[in-house]
Structure formats: C-alpha cells, structure tokens
Amino acid sequence: MTSRHDPLWNPDAPADADLDRIQRALAPYGVRARGLLMPAVSTPRRLRRQAVPWALAAGIAILLLGAGYQYRLAWVPGDTWSVVHHEGRGEEQRSQLRPGRTLETASNETARIAVARIGSIVLSPDSTLRLVETEKGKHRVALEQGHIRARIWAPPGYFGVRAGSAEVVDLGCDFDLWKHHDGSGRVFVRSGWVSYRVGTEDILVPEGYELSFSDGMAGTPLRPDAPEAFSSAVRELEAALLSANLRSGRLEDAAQRVVDATRDEDAFTLLSLLTRWPALARTGLYPRLSAALGVQGDSTDHRRAWEVGDLVAIDAWWDTLPRQPKQWWANWRDALG
C-alpha cells in the first residue's frame, strides 16, 4: 500500500531535494499559478429541496395530459350525445341524442350538440340532423337539410357528416355545412381542413375555401372573395371537362379564361383542378400554378409526369403548401369551442 507520507500522493508531505527542485521548476505552469482553479459550487440545500417537487410536478403534469388526451378520445359505442336547446326567448332545455334518432330545430331554435368528447355541433334553425353512429374513433351524423357548424379537435377521420351520397370528413377543424332538400349545398372551412368524399373522389378543402356540391357531384374549392370573373371561368371549365374531350378547343379556351382571371391567392383552386384532372397540365394552368406557388419554372419532365397522373410529381407541389392536411393538432383552439 502507498504510504500517506509519500509526497507523490500527499502534497503536504516533505519531498526530497530532487523532487523539490522539479516542483519549483514546474510551479509557474500549474493551475494555481494561472488562476485556472474553478471555485467549488454547491447547490444550496433549499434549492435542492425545491428542484425535486418541480420535477415531480412536471412528470405528473405530463401524465395528466396524456390521460386527459386518452379520456377525450375514448367513447362507449352507442352512447348518447348531450344536447342543449336554445329558443328565441332565451329559454334553455336539455336532451339526449341516441344513434339512429333525428334532431329537428324549429324556426326560432338552435341546438348545441356535444360530439362525444371531441367537439361540438351547432344546429341552426329549421335544420334536421341524424346521429348515425358513435364509437371510439368514429362518429358520424347525417345532415338531412339545413345548416351546422362543427368544431372538432381530434385525429383525422374521427368525425364525419353525411350529405346525401357524399361525406364531409373532418381532418381536425372548424367548418360550416349547408344542405338543401334537392341535395345541393356547400361547405366552408374556418380553420384546418376537411375532405369531401363522393364516389371514388376525395377533394381536400383548406381553411378559407368553400366547396359547392349537388347530389353526387362536387365543384372545385374556391375562396369566397374570389372575383366573379374567376369563379365563372372555373365553373365554365368544369362544365367543359364534363362534356368535352380533353383535347378539344373549347377546353383550351376555358382553361385560358381561368388563367387570365387567376390571382396568386387562388393557387389552391388551380392545384385542385390539376389534381382532379391531371391532363389539364398540358394547358396554361400548369405554368400559372407554378408562378403562383413560387416553384421552379416549367420542367418538361415534371409536366409530362403530371399529365399522366404521376402522384410523385403532383405531391411535390402539394408539399409546398404552408400547412399540410391532417395537422389537426395545430388547430388546438377548435378544442375550446
């Protein structure tokens, strides 16, 4: 065992002449001489005592948030939804809505419906709504006629509204839906996104856009403030697409009228048109969309790929959008509705 009197291990022990001479020679380069010693830092006992409760509180908060999230999404299949009826005189009544049952409002009445625990629906006067099904991960209603405003904060697809042969699927948002007796109507998105599904078609509608539809058919998403010249040109192009060959002169003329009336803020309408009808990429819509999105100029290979419906080519321009579909968590304010 090394002796505690060995100066190599105990600096306070006396050194022999040679070791003493070496120590003096090296002294100017030591940490003490250069002031490199760090002062000893000790955490006050009071601070140590406080740190433990804060860490514990943070851990508990995370657990509570996770539990609250799971509780919000959980639901017993077939359970009833709570309804609060508001009449014109300010009177308030409460009821329960069961799956398969229909709720109707009078001309002086609105109804606020709790959509399980993921949001709410406000049913306007003179409207009819039916609860189709309700279970964890899937809540569906049918708007027979009238107007609703739905505010939902949940993963994509948890909530949907049937409107005739179509379905408006929530992607985590706040939206309005109108439907008339003849099957026509429109949907307007206040925040987030919805998907309008009819047949095999799935049309995305983003915040600030509305989509008009008739029973079995859907238009192209438009901004409500779009100039009438642009909206009319889009409707003419849709009519040409439904009645003419994609290479006809009528189609080319209709597409050019859309190009001439397009503003940069109408880029999503062009993106939707080209996504639904990829062959339109051979018209002036493709370079106009490129300019509106601010992407690299006309690429012959990319344009040809788009014309034949190549999803990689199409998705490359969708990825330039500032907010992507299905980012439902970004619309957390909708949970407060």
Q: Tell which residue, 226, 184, 188, 225, has the closest CA to residue 205.
A: 188
DSSP secondary structure letter of residue 70: H
CA distance 64 to 79: 25
- The SS3 assignment for 298 reads coil
Pairing outcome for strands 159-163 and 138-152: parallel
CA distance 100 to 178: 21
pLDDT at 49: 61
CA neighbours closer than 13 Å in the CB half-sphere of residue 110 = 12
Query: How many residues in total does the chain contain?
Result: 337
pLDDT at 91: 80
CA distance 254 to 236: 6
> Does residue 268 contact residue 220 with C-beta atoms inside 8 Å?
no
pLDDT at 59: 65
pLDDT at 316: 93
CA distance 233 to 261: 8
Over the stretch 262-305, which tens digit does the pLDDT of each residue have? 999 999 999 999 999 999 999 999 999 999 999 876 689 999 99
In angstroms, what CA-CA distances link 147 with 79, 129, 187, 240? 24, 9, 10, 31
Fold for domain 77-224? Jelly Rolls (2.60.120)
Q: Which helix (H) or strand (E) holds 115?
A: strand 109-115
pTM equals: 0.76
Torsion of CA 196, 198, 202, 203, to 10 degrees: -50
Q: Tell which residue, 225, 63, 69, 246, has the closest CA to residue 158.
A: 69
pLDDT at 20: 65
Distance of CA 62 to the CA centre of its chain: 23
pLDDT at 321: 87
Q: Please state whether 126 falls in left (phi above 0), alpha (psi between -120 and 50) or beta.
A: left
CA distance 310 to 305: 5
Largest CA distance in the chain: 111
- Residues of the chain with confidence (pLDDT) below 70: 1-70, 72, 244-248, 297-298, 324, 326-337
| Dihedral sign computed on CA atoms, order 212, 204, 81, 215 | positive
> Hey, where are the domains in the chain?
77-224, 227-337
CA distance 12 to 18: 16
In angstroms, what CA-CA distances link 308 with 42, 285, 305? 70, 15, 6
pLDDT at 1: 46
Over the stretch 136-163, which tens digit does the pLDDT of each residue have? 999 999 999 999 999 998 899 999 999 9
pLDDT at 318: 93
